[in-house]
Amino acid sequence: MNKMQKTAKALDTFCKVLFWLAIAGSVIFAAAVVILAFAGDKAMIEASSLTLGPATFNLAEGFRPDAKYASGLIFSMIPVVALGVATVIIGLNIIRSILAPMKEGVPFDGTMSKSIRKLGWFSLISGGVWSIITIIFESLMLVVYDFEKIFIGDAVTDIVIESDISLDFIIVAAVIFLLSYVFRYGEALQQQADETL
């Protein structure tokens, strides 16, 4: 039990550090957005580049996005980052609720299976939400950048853009739900053992 308690305490400390890093990162991002807002549209256009996978294209003057679209894209990231920070904080709190009984040396205390099931639902919902956000941002990129103007020429005759959404979060959630049933069975066995004593 001692090794489990030490590991749970170390993981709990790691979660606390991640929590504060998420808070600090969101504050830095908010400051950067405010600076961009005060720097004006010119700063957003000057820094204009297009990233597609591992490739980044620095765009010439006539191919850069319109200022109103570029500023809209930057400001639309504020709620996304807020949602990201909220997701990290909620996820870390659920993980810490799972680690709490383990730190005390009682992994089958009666609340573990519920906490693990809560983590499964969180994984399923947050994965779905992030998939939807990915589709929205891909659509925004189509509005902000004129892909036909940038890429269509003698070498490229057509552009086809498809969303590549990973559904791995469903498998992860299913495994977490199965794990919650294993812990529920362990809790029942622990309760029987306690009643026998």
Q: Say how far apart CA 185 and CA 194 lie, in whole Å.
A: 14
pLDDT 10s digits, 1-38: 588 889 989 999 999 999 999 889 888 887 887 777 66
Query: Six-digit token pair at 163?
Result: 């969303």
Most confidently predicted of 48-57, 81-90, 116-125, 188-197: 116-125
| β-strand pairing of 55-58 with 49-52 | antiparallel
| pTM of the entire predicted model | 0.73
In this structure, the number of other CB atoms found within 10 A of the CB of residue 54 comes to: 5
Question: Which pLDDT score, from 0 to 100, does residue 90 have?
Answer: 92
